[in-house]
Structure 1
Amino acid sequence: MLETLRQIVQEVNAASGLEDALGIIVRQVRVAMGTEVCSIYLREPGGERFIFRATEGLNQEQVGLASLAAGEGLVGTVAEREEPLNLENAESHPNFRFFPDLGEEHFDAFLGVPIIHQRDVLGVLVVQQAEHRRFDESEEAFLVTMSAQLAAVIAHARVTGAVDSDEVAEGAPAKIGGVPGAPGIAIGTCVVVSPIADLYAVPRKTVKDRRAELHAFRFALDRVREDIQGVADNLGGELSPEDHALFDVYLGILDDSSIGREVVGLIKAGQWAQGALSKVMIEHIRHFERMEHSYLKERAVDVKDLGTRVLSYLQASTKEEQVFPDNAVLVGEELTASSLGEIPREKLAGLISVRGSGNSHVAILARAMGVPTVMGAVDLPYTRLEGRSVVIDGYNGTVHLNPRPEVLSRFKEVVDSDLELNKDLESLRDQPCVTLDGHRMPLWVNTGLMADVVRSLEQGAEGVGLYRTEVPFLLRERFPSEEEQRQIYRNQLEAFAPRPVTMRTLDIGGDKSLPYFPIEEDNPFLGWRGIRVTLDHPEIFLSQVRAMLKANDGLGNLRIMLPMISSVSELDEALDLIRRSHREVVQEGVTTELPSIGVMVEVPSAVYQARALARRVDFLSVGSNDLTQYLLAVDRNNARVADLYHSLHPAVLQALQEVATAAMAEGKKVGICGELAGDPEGAVLLLAMGYDMLSMNATSLPKVKKALRNVSLVEARELLAAALQREDPAEIHALLERFLAEHGMERFIHNPVD
């Protein structure tokens, strides 16, 4: 059965759209199980009814017409209960409902299993048989396994099908989940960014000048033919006649009587040359991949190589400056910083990346620029979105394609509210963050790029709680030299002087891998990252610390922070290296003092050793993002489990309180530099816990300042006491929302817009 499963999933993955995928499933499952009927019911988009969408064995004329509600009939019962239903006599079940036009009256045996993707019941997969019998355990297990294997494929195909349908052009909605990359709402038009010579990433476009596209395609074909002929001539004396004949086969594939003719046909029908080439080549690649014979299967590689060569010439010939629409939303499989540089800033409204995380460099840059971003939108059929209307919800990490009018209206209200709020907050820039009863709370910023500096100062930042030193490393093709680092750090220190700047030592690993220093691990977040890397490579650590100390000469606003500390011994080793670096730069004539040194508390062991760590350093700083994911065992950059990541989880709040209490017991300052600090709800709780400083993205600073200036420390402590009594993050979130609303801060509450 494993081989059968593999073949069916492979064919479904190669389907051209949703209808094709559903047809493959019902045909192949029916054959694999030896049943007389196989059908699929899918839940209608945005609704609760399950539509009869595909069948082998029942009345095809009812496809798309018959439907049931959850709980109605046997199919509705499977959907409602979210578990298989296996009956030897379907009519004997109390929920049985007869549909006279389906033609199922001859089939007694019934087996239905739910199709579930990320807790969402997409539909029901059903097999039926005339024989009066119960499907055995192996058959039921096979169908359950098939459903689980196909759920993600069907989810992706359903969105793809919606995007391709005529309904979408008329406004039918599609909603795709992802991971928040940068906060804010963006409403605009999709512009697909495709990587160089990737057949699978070519966006779909229609063109008016078909003659120009035909000319470009034929020009690209001629160049590839010349390349292949040149290779054949160069190897003529080294290959046998049989091997040399292979090049003639390659040239034949490109002939007008073969693949070339198919591409030309699509171009004449209105597709642009790159899209036509991509469609035809992928179809042929998949055809070869499905072949049984190993020799023929391997020819898929040759076809792909030919297509890639032609595509590269097409891309080179059409590389003239692109005209971007207003409110452009860049969409791609994995957006990079360089793709941002190709669009004028005034045209850029938002970003959507199929891959990547909230810690990806492009997400960091987007937050610095204030561009709403969604990362990890894995179900997004991005190549089909060129020119589509889209809304990005960067607060909740969702993408809305062709939103319903009422949803679009609600998003526009959020945008207007954000603009109005930002205007109101501008007046607070030079005001201190002081509670109603006079408690002072310094607000700092997280930075990593020079682009952050201006925005941070404009928002009234009082210091830098986290400068990500890995960002300059990520932007290079080699390790920056000590002098290059010194200049980078000097620029940051001078820009904020005399305000303090907290520089975190190199924090790579996890989802931050340097291209010239790759770290390949099965479980990178529990592997070689942060201080573990730099302690194993003291030459990197010493060079970086020396650069920081030299950059601080004459300024005195440097603070050094150590990431991913999980034990006292790691801290002691790092402190020894810092002191050694200080001695070395002093011997070189640099007069800077040893700066304040702190530890990032971001793993559970550091929480429970917080007092021991605090005794050895000058301050503690909680990295709440990593601490939350380690406490909850949830990868915060994985869209599949994003709904399990709760920064207000009771365990997280208790850990945060414990760290603050430990630092105060040792008479040391404690701050926080995770996303929670930039959330008005979280900031009120952190104030009550006794944190001495909050560090956040510059765009969040005015909102947090407004929130804290509207409450008293006494009220915040009462709120914290109530929150710590709650056992569920949803209850805590509701409690905080009520508190903000009671204090006139409803505009700080961002709920998902359905």
Structure 2
Amino acid sequence: MLNTLRKIVQEVNAAKDLKAALGIIVLRVREAMNSQVCSVYLLDTDTNRFVLQATEGLNKRSIGKVSMAPSEGLVGLVGSREEPLNLEDAASHPRYRYFAETGEKRYASFLGAPIIHHRRVMGVLVIQHKERRQFDEGEEAFLVTMSAQLAGVIAHAEATGSIRGLQGKGIHEAKFIGVAGSPGAAVGTAVVMLPPADLDVVPDKSVEDIETELQLFSGALESVRKDLHALSAKLATQLRPEERAVFDVYLMMLDDDAIGNEINRIIRTGQWAQGALRQVVNDHVQRFEMMDDAYLRERASDIKDLGRRLLGYLQEARTQSLSYAENTILVSEELSPGMLGEVPVGKLIGLVSVRGSGNSHVAILARAMGIPTVMGVVDLPYSKVDGIEMIVDGYHGEVFTNPSAELSRQYRAVVEEERELSKGLDTLCKLPCITLDGVRMPLWVNTGLLADVARAQERGAEGVGLYRTEVPFMIRDRFPSEKEQLAIYREQLEAFHPLPVTMRTLDVGGDKALPYFPIKEDNPFLGWRGVRITLDHPEIFLVQIRAMLKASEGLNNLRILIPMISGLQELEESLHLIHRAWGEVLDEGVDVPMPPVGVMIEVPAAVYQIRELARQVDFISVGSNDLTQYLLAVDRNNPRVADLYDFLHPSVLHALKLVVDGAHAEGKPVSICGEMAADPASAVLLLALGFDSLSMNATNLPKVKWLLRQISKAMASELLERLLKMDSPAVIYSTLQLELRNLGLERMINPAATIEA
């Protein structure tokens, strides 16, 4: 059965559209299960009825005509109960409904499985048999597995509009749901950026200059031929002639009579060379992978290798030719910080990533840059959106492709409103953050790039609550020397002097990798990361601390922050090394006082040892991103569970209260430097919880300041008291939003709240 399933899935994935995919499924499933009928009913969301869309065995003239409400028939029963139904005699069931036009009267047994995608019923897959018999457990399991595979295909078709029968090139007006990555709205032109030499993400693109594309492909062919000849010659002394024959096979594949000719033929239809290459290679790969012979199946990897080699040269030839629109919305399967830097200054207005979550590093960087971003848009057929108009709604986590004129008008109005709002907030730069009842709340910034400095100062930051020292490590091909680190840290300290700068010691691992220090683990977030690495490598830790201390000479605005502490022993070891580095610096004649040292509360274990930890350090800083992730057991970079990641979860709020109360009991100040602090509504609760300072991206600082200046701490405390009694994040969020709406503050938080799309 597994082999059969694999073949069906491959055929379905190769289908040109939804209609063809459904036809393949009903045909192949009927054959595999040796039944007389296989049918697919899809839920029409406009009418809320399950409509027959494909069948083998029933009258095909009934396709599109027969339908059932969730309260009607056996199909409706499967859909409404969201579980399989296995009947020996369908006609005897009280929910059985007969449709003469389907010709199904002669079929007795019935097995139906719901088609569910992301908790939403999309349809029902049914098989029927003439004889009365109970389908066995294996058959039921196979149908359930098949329906799970079908769910993704239908969701994709629904998202692109093809489920409604729309045809033609490209993608139609459609709405895609993702995860809010960075607030704001943008209306612009999609520019698809591909990772190097990855055939799977090459988009379709029409071209007019066909001769240029043919020449580009011809050049790539010639370059790959030369590479293969050179490889064969290089390995002549290491391989026998028969083993080197694989290179001859490769060269034969490249001949004009083989895939080379096929690619040229598709280019002549107006497809660019990279798209033609992807199409031909994928067709061959799917054909090989479906073969029964194991040897022939393995040849699929040869085709893939050739395709990647050719694509590498085609991309190299086009490196300088990627054009960016004035209002570029950058789209990629998985955005990286480096991609953002490739767009010319002033042209990037929005970001869309198929993978990743609202708390991935690209999203954090986007928030720092003030770029509306949607992450985890898993259903977006991104290879087909290059060059089309697109709307990014970073408030709701939504993306619209080829939007209507009216929807574009509404969002352009939101963009203009945000621009005016931003101008108004600029006047707050020199004003302190003081509540209506006179409570002072210092607002600090998170930094990592030198560009963050000017942005932070423009927005009135009162210090740096988190300087991510790993950024200089991540942009190099080796560990930076003490001298190099000293220069980088000195720049930050001088830029903010005399305001405090909190430098976190090297925090890599998890989702932050160094190219020259690879860490491969099955569970990286629960593995070797943060202080665990630096304690195992004191030579790295000591060099970094020495560089920080020397950089602070004469400035004395340095604060050192230790990440990922899970117990007293780690903290004591870290403090020992810091004091050792300080002694070494003093011995070199550099006169610097011992700076304040703090600990990050990110691990749940640290929450319950807060008083013991606070006694050992000068200050406490909560990393709300990781603390939320670990408390809720949710990988914040995984879009499948992104909706479970919520820093307004009751457990998170109660944990934060424990930390603040415990630290204050030991007389130590507490700050919070996660993304929670950058959310204006959440900042109201952080004020009430008693945090002594908030640290956030510079973009949101004016919004947080404006909102905190409109309320009193007494009002925030009364609201928090009510919220702490609630047991649902959704109820907490809606109550908080309602309270702010009643105060006339809602649109400050979400200018796009009134748009109904």
The answer (yes or no) to whether the contact 2:160–2:174 under 8 Å persists in 1 is no
Q: C-alpha displacement at 1:226, in angstroms?
A: 4.0
Q: C-alpha displacement at 1:107, in angstroms?
A: 1.8
- Aligned residue identity for 2:83: E
Give CA-to-partner distance per residue, 1:580-615, whole Å, 9 cap, x none: 111111111111111111111111111111111111
Deviates more, 1:233-242 or 1:204-213: 233-242
Counterparts of 1:635-654 in structure 2, within 5 Å, are 635-654=635-654
* Matched residue SS, 1:270: coil
The answer (yes or no) to whether the contact 1:417–1:747 under 8 Å persists in 2 is no
- Aligned residue identity for 1:627: L
Q: C-alpha displacement at 1:151, in angstroms?
A: 3.0
Q: C-alpha displacement at 1:443, in angstroms?
A: 0.7
* Matched residue SS, 1:725: coil
Distance of aligned partners of 1:28 and 1:585 in 2 relative to their CA distance in 1, 3 Å threshold? same
Distance of aligned partners of 1:218 and 1:166 in 2 relative to their CA distance in 1, 3 Å threshold? farther
Cross-structure match for 1:423:
423
Distance 1:657 1:231 in 2: 63
Deviates more, 1:281-290 or 1:44-53: 44-53
* Matched residue SS, 1:652: helix
State whether structure 2 residue 622 is matched by structure 1 residue 585.
no
The answer (yes or no) to whether the contact 1:18–1:158 under 8 Å persists in 2 is no
Counterparts of 1:316-465 in structure 2, within 5 Å, are 316-358=316-358, 360-403=360-403, 407-465=407-465
Distance 1:93 1:404 in 2: 47
Cross-structure match for 1:482:
482
Deviates more, 1:218-227 or 1:556-565: 218-227
Cross-structure match for 1:279:
279
State whether structure 2 residue 53 is matched by structure 1 residue 57.
no
Cross-structure match for 1:701:
701
- Aligned residue identity for 1:500: P
Q: C-alpha displacement at 1:748, in angstroms?
A: 3.2
Distance 1:373 1:616 in 2: 40
The answer (yes or no) to whether the contact 2:329–2:352 under 8 Å persists in 1 is yes
- Aligned residue identity for 1:203: P
Give CA-to-partner distance per residue, 1:105-124, whole Å, 9 cap, x none: 33222211111121122221
Q: C-alpha displacement at 1:360, in angstroms?
A: 4.5
Give CA-to-partner distance per residue, 1:543-562, whole Å, 9 cap, x none: 11111111111111111111
Distance of aligned partners of 1:211 and 1:46 in 2 relative to their CA distance in 1, 3 Å threshold? farther
Distance 2:577 2:419 in 1: 48
- Aligned residue identity for 2:465: G
Give CA-to-partner distance per residue, 1:623-654, whole Å, 9 cap, x none: 11111111111112211111111211111111
Give CA-to-partner distance per residue, 1:9-38, whole Å, 9 cap, x none: 344344444334333322222222211111
Q: C-alpha displacement at 1:220, in angstroms?
A: 2.7
Distance of aligned partners of 1:130 and 1:329 in 2 relative to their CA distance in 1, 3 Å threshold? same
Q: C-alpha displacement at 1:733, in angstroms?
A: 0.9
Aligned residues: 754
The answer (yes or no) to whether the contact 1:359–1:511 under 8 Å persists in 2 is no
Counterparts of 1:419-568 in structure 2, within 5 Å, are 419-568=419-568
Distance of aligned partners of 1:169 and 1:84 in 2 relative to their CA distance in 1, 3 Å threshold? same
Cross-structure match for 2:300:
300
* Matched residue SS, 1:203: coil
- Aligned residue identity for 2:306: L
Distance 1:312 1:163 in 2: 35
- Aligned residue identity for 1:497: H
Aligned-residue identity in percent = 60
Cross-structure match for 2:189:
189
Distance 2:714 2:237 in 1: 88
The answer (yes or no) to whether the contact 1:368–1:451 under 8 Å persists in 2 is no
Cross-structure match for 1:313:
313
Q: C-alpha displacement at 1:56, in angstroms?
A: 1.9
The answer (yes or no) to whether the contact 1:562–1:599 under 8 Å persists in 2 is yes
Distance of aligned partners of 1:326 and 1:100 in 2 relative to their CA distance in 1, 3 Å threshold? farther
Distance 1:233 1:691 in 2: 68
Distance 1:753 1:482 in 2: 55
The answer (yes or no) to whether the contact 1:163–1:385 under 8 Å persists in 2 is no
Distance of aligned partners of 1:392 and 1:13 in 2 relative to their CA distance in 1, 3 Å threshold? same
Distance 1:643 1:739 in 2: 23
The answer (yes or no) to whether the contact 1:171–1:404 under 8 Å persists in 2 is no
Cross-structure match for 1:93:
93
- Aligned residue identity for 1:180: A
The answer (yes or no) to whether the contact 2:59–2:103 under 8 Å persists in 1 is yes
Q: C-alpha displacement at 1:348, in angstroms?
A: 1.2
Give CA-to-partner distance per residue, 1:212-256, whole Å, 9 cap, x none: 222322333333334444555666788766556554443332233
Distance 2:333 2:168 in 1: 22
* Matched residue SS, 1:43: strand
The normalised TM-score by structure 1 is: 0.94
The answer (yes or no) to whether the contact 2:10–2:286 under 8 Å persists in 1 is no
Distance of aligned partners of 1:14 and 1:584 in 2 relative to their CA distance in 1, 3 Å threshold? farther
Deviates more, 1:50-59 or 1:719-728: 50-59
The answer (yes or no) to whether the contact 1:21–1:154 under 8 Å persists in 2 is no
Cross-structure match for 2:573:
573
- Aligned residue identity for 2:218: R
Give CA-to-partner distance per residue, 1:500-519, whole Å, 9 cap, x none: 11111111111112111111
The answer (yes or no) to whether the contact 2:180–2:374 under 8 Å persists in 1 is yes
Cross-structure match for 1:734:
734
Cross-structure match for 1:142:
142
State whether structure 2 residue 209 is matched by structure 1 residue 209.
yes
Deviates more, 1:671-680 or 1:103-112: 103-112
State whether structure 2 residue 5 is matched by structure 1 residue 5.
yes
Q: C-alpha displacement at 1:63, in angstroms?
A: 3.6
Deviates more, 1:541-550 or 1:352-361: 352-361
The answer (yes or no) to whether the contact 1:189–1:327 under 8 Å persists in 2 is yes
Distance 2:228 2:443 in 1: 62
Distance of aligned partners of 1:233 and 1:65 in 2 relative to their CA distance in 1, 3 Å threshold? farther
Cross-structure match for 1:629:
629
- Aligned residue identity for 1:326: E
State whether structure 2 residue 717 is matched by structure 1 residue 717.
yes
Query: Any stretches of 5+ residues in structure 2 without a counterpart?
Result: none
Give CA-to-partner distance per residue, 1:478-534, whole Å, 9 cap, x none: 111111111111111111111111111111111112111111111111111111111
Q: C-alpha displacement at 1:159, in angstroms?
A: 3.9
The answer (yes or no) to whether the contact 1:556–1:592 under 8 Å persists in 2 is yes
